[in-house]
């Protein structure tokens, strides 16, 4: 199982809305993520910079950021695009973060 981390950017003032939307995550998105081999998925917020840090385990080569070929994923990205910094296709601007230390 591989762990990956990435960062995204939340628009200022949208912390509570981001939390609300993720607390009510669409069941189809949850199923897609889990069926793609992704588990132990967390997102953290650095409120000082509005940077979101995502960490997930992958059983395979597909991260949550690579699910854009799925219609439901594109709809979720459209739904989130008003509160996050996004690419022209509304996917979140996501930057991989290199792991430099891990203690198990």
Single out the residue of 39, 83, 29, 30 nearest to residue 60, CA to CA.
Answer: 39
Active site residue 102: no
Q: Kindly list the distances between the CA atom of residue 65 and the CA atoms of 37, 47, 50, 84, in Å, as whole numbers in the listed order.
A: 13, 22, 19, 14
Burial of 23 (0-12, 13-18, 19+ CB in 10 A): exposed
Of the candidates 22, 60, 89, 99, the residue annotated as catalytic is: 22
Q: Kindly list the distances between the CA atom of residue 94 and the CA atoms of 31, 55, 103, 104, in Å, as whole numbers in the listed order.
A: 21, 12, 25, 26
Give catalytic residues, as residue numbers: 22
């Amino acid at each position: 199982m591989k762990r990956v981390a990435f960062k995204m950017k939340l628009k200022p003032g949208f912390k509570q809305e981001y939390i609300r939307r993720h607390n009510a995550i669409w069941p189809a998105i949850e199923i897609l993520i889990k069926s793609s081999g992704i588990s132990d998925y967390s997102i953290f917020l650095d409120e000082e910079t509005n940077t979101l840090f995502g960490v997930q385990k992958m059983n395979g080569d597909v991260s949550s950021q690579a699910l854009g070929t799925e219609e439901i994923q594109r709809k979720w990205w459209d739904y989130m695009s008003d509160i996050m910094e996004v690419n022209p296709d509304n996917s979140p601007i996501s930057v991989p973060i290199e792991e430099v230390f891990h203690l198990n």
